[in-house]
Structure 1
Amino acid sequence: MASIRDIAKMAGVSAASVSRILNNDETFSINENTRKRVIDIANKMNYSKEKNKHGSRSTGDEQTIALVVRHSAESELDDPYFRYIRRGIEKEAEKWRLRVLRVFRMRDKEKDWEQLSKYGAVVMVGEMTQDAVEKAYSFNQKLILVDTYTNYSQYDCIQTDFADKTHEILDTLYQNGHRRFAFIGGLASKVAIDGQVVRYKEEVRAENFQEWIKLNNLEDCAAVYQGSWSTESGVALAKEMLAADPLPTAVVVASDPMAVGVYRAINDAGLRIPADISIVSFDDIDIAQYMTPALSSVRMNAEEMGCLAVRLAKERMLEERIMPIRVICSTELKLRESVKKIIEAVD
């Protein structure tokens, strides 16, 4: 149940103004649209003068955003991407005096789905199977999907532009003379209702790498290597790549932690970056610019993705919008010392 301060924050007016409006102060002069907005928000947030007359501030479930995440506690600690999304969610929610409660992780075997119905909105972070998304929606239609690349047109969805950015990376490498390419990345996965992880090869970066290769008629000059998302997997996949003949002159890596492993394998093989092989990655974690040579990487603002999720949830909670929307978050390619311009025969 909302307080006067909560309503004021949501409406963008002072607490004193909300108090005078809700108490029907006839001497208070204010724009009629503002008056109506305050009353509408109070109704939607279940404000009660009786329950607030002693000045207590209640934090009812209708002002809480339920958070459902697909990743484990360990991966949230290890991967800054998920930490930044969550930090953005919590920061934006605090701004609007909303609560955030992680109700369960998708990998939990036991999940209380019914509890989703009592919250103001639900934010799901990461790829879930269609039946899992539909089940969440059946209990709460104010559903926001974050970092989901399946084409769920009926839900609010926040994505990165990794598909287009993969093409941009390859265009840049091609313009720098590269004609032999490799991709190293992790398998895509979704979490099912029962918590089981379903893995498959059609990861967004890998798919768009192959699409670009096909569009440029370079199928005989490219290879894809996929495994887990760990640094160790980056080492193993890079060793597999280095056994090929001829070697690629440029490698696209799906994440910076994997790129650390690729660096290790290339150095262990006595090859040099970028003299022998250029590398571009995704994430642009803090260490990327301090690697030797500095790693070229795609920078994303994961925290802003979390902030956007709360803004979309707020619109749903206040019924300001009923049409589902898809937000594509732009990323930035940071070219550093790991990419070299080479001279090859002109096509």
Structure 2
Amino acid sequence: MKIVLAGTSHWHADMHLDAARDAGAEIIGVWDEDEAHAMGFAARNSLKAIAAFEDVLATPADLILLMGHPSNVPARARRMIEADIPLILEKPAATSTAPLIQLRDLAHRRKAFVGVPLPNRFGPAVTAFERLRREGRAGQVAHGHFRVVNGPPERYAADGVGWVVDPAIGGGGALRNLGIHGVDAALSLASGELHLKAVSMGNRIHRSPVEDYALLVLEDDAGAVFTVEAGYTFASMRPGGDFEWRIVGANATLIDRGDKATCATLDDAAVVDLPVELPATRYRLSMRDTFERLRRNAAPAISMDDYVAAMSLIDAAYQKAGR
């Protein structure tokens, strides 16, 4: 697979580079709207820098991974879709949901491959639960809890992307940026529609323009309850922060704490450790899955439909919280 990484100044660029290399891709070029940044990134990683966005579109890439500032990404994504180039669209791809709906509709019309990297879908608790469900052993979902609490928002300024905590650009705070992973997890497990029951947000610690902590309570049509916790309140800049994915079915409890994961099942009284991939390197799993689906001419595991659904629910949470 030949891949171009477009938008090297995004804070996930190194993670995607690692993922592409781990998946055996040939990285045929890197680009950024800041040409000097792209050249520096290329030099550090022994890659070729692409000078102009037009040249990105002209490459013989099997796949382009697009990252960047939310004000510019939608137009660039549109051009890639119209050029029939398979695309991974990194978040945040827009300040609001409306441009994403337009991209989703365009992707549908053109039958385009547009994947969205939400790599915790490939984490150990989720994949083990899906395996149990295929075997008929998971039981009805009862509840789930999804927590991503990272270090202070200053981390984004240090990475040169301070706009992440500007609500006029990033579209929100910890919920929009980090909580989308948990919202997507709840949507993927829900039976029927997912309803927003309660929301609480605050910024008591950092007093930034955006929330540094958010908690959502969600319930699906079958009565399963999901909670989503997101924050910038972990008292350290170390990768990983405070992470937990908990899925509970009638016969199974699965817990993923990032560096350790377990699965307990009632039918055989077993509690087993699951193979672990750290949250920061789960992009490897997402990239491998993307390549395999492209080879099979299959749809992406996580599509624009999923992205729009999560963004829309987050919109409703901000509205309910009066933000």
Q: How does the TM-score come out when normalised to structure 2?
A: 0.40
* Structure label with greater radius of gyration: 1
Q: How does the TM-score come out when normalised to structure 1?
A: 0.38
